[in-house]
C-alpha cells in the first residue's frame, strides 16, 4: 500500500512538472511569435517612410491626406477592447466566470467596431491616392493588419464560446487559452497603434 501511495505521489509530481513545462513553453512560443510579427509590422513602417522620403511632398500633390477622425475612434475602441480583455482574464483567474464572459463579450464587440472602421478606411481610398505609393502602401498596411486582426478575433470568439461552455478554470494551466488569446489581441492593438500614428499623424 505504501509503495502504491509513493508511486501515485511521484506520478502527480511528474504531471505537475509536465504541466509547468507546457505552460512555460506556451508562453515562450507566444513571446517569440509576438516579437517576430511586430518586426514584420515595423518593417512595413520602414517601407512607408522610405517611400515617403522619395517624394518631395507627402501626400503627393493632388492627393488629400487621410482624415484621422474615424480611425481615432477605431483606435480608442481597440484600446478599450484590450483593457476589457485584460480585465476578463483577471476575472477568470479570480474565479469570476460571469465577469470574464461579460468583459470578453464587450471586448469582442469593440473589436468588431474597429474592424468595421478599418474596412471602411480600406475601401474609401480615392482613385487619386491609389495612383500613387501613398494609397498603395495605405491599403497594404491596413489590409495586412486587418487579416491578422480578423484571425485573432476569430480565436477570441472561440475562446468566448469555450468559456461559456465552462471549459476553463481559474488556475494558469486551465486558463492558458484565454491568456494566449488575450496576448494575441494585445499584439493587434500594439501593431495598429504603430500603423495609426504613421498613417494618420506623421506627415
| pLDDT tens column, 153-196 | 999 999 999 999 989 888 877 788 999 999 999 999 999 999 99
Residue 185 burial (10 A CB sphere; 0-12, 13-18, 19+): buried
What local confidence, expressed as pLDDT, does residue 172 receive?
76
What local confidence, expressed as pLDDT, does residue 169 receive?
86
The pTM of the full predicted model, rounded to 2 decimals, is 0.87
**DSSP character string of 138-150:** HHHHHHHHHHHHH
Sign of CA dihedral 57, 59, 60, 63: negative
Task: Please state the φ and ψ torsions of residue 55, each to the nearest 5 degrees.
Answer: -105, 150
Domains and CATH numbers, the chain: 2-200 (1.20.120.80)
What local confidence, expressed as pLDDT, does residue 27 receive?
80
Could you read off the pLDDT tens digit of each residue along the chain, which spans 203 residues? 555 555 566 556 665 776 677 778 878 888 888 888 889 899 999 998 888 888 888 888 888 888 999 999 999 999 999 999 999 999 999 999 999 999 999 999 999 999 999 999 999 998 888 988 999 999 999 999 999 999 999 999 999 999 999 898 888 777 889 999 999 999 999 999 999 999 998 86
What local confidence, expressed as pLDDT, does residue 115 receive?
96
Q: Are 126 and 135 in contact (CB under 8 A)?
A: yes
* DSSP reduced 3-state for 72: helix
What local confidence, expressed as pLDDT, does residue 111 receive?
97
Distance (Å, whole) CA 197 – CA 134 = 15
Residue 182 burial (10 A CB sphere; 0-12, 13-18, 19+): buried
What local confidence, expressed as pLDDT, does residue 15 receive?
57
Provide the CA 53 distance to its chain's centre, in angstroms: 30
Distance (Å, whole) CA 158 – CA 181 = 10
Amino acid at each position: 500500500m505504501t509503495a502504491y501511495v509513493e508511486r501515485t505521489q511521484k506520478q502527480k509530481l511528474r504531471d505537475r512538472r509536465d504541466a509547468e513545462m507546457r505552460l512555460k513553453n506556451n508562453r515562450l512560443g507566444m513571446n517569440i511569435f509576438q516579437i517576430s510579427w511586430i518586426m514584420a509590422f515595423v518593417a512595413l513602417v520602414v517601407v512607408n517612410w522610405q517611400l515617403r522620403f522619395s517624394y518631395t511632398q507627402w501626400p503627393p500633390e493632388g492627393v488629400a491626406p487621410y482624415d484621422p477622425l474615424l480611425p481615432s475612434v477605431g483606435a480608442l475602441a481597440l484600446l478599450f477592447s484590450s483593457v476589457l480583455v485584460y480585465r476578463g482574464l483577471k476575472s477568470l483567474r479570480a474565479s469570476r466566470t460571469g465577469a470574464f464572459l461579460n468583459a470578453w463579450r464587450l471586448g469582442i464587440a469593440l473589436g468588431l467596431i474597429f474592424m468595421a472602421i478599418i474596412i471602411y478606411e480600406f475601401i474609401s481610398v480615392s482613385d487619386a491616392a491609389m495612383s500613387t505609393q501613398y494609397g498603395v502602401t495605405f491599403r497594404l498596411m491596413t489590409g495586412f493588419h486587418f487579416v491578422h486582426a480578423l484571425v485573432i478575433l476569430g480565436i477570441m470568439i472561440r475562446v468566448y464560446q469555450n468559456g461559456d461552455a465552462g471549459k476553463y478554470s481559474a488556475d494558469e494551466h486551465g486558463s492558458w487559452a484565454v491568456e494566449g488569446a488575450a496576448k494575441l489581441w494585445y499584439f493587434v492593438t500594439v501593431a495598429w497603434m504603430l500603423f495609426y500614428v504613421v498613417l494618420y499623424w506623421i506627415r
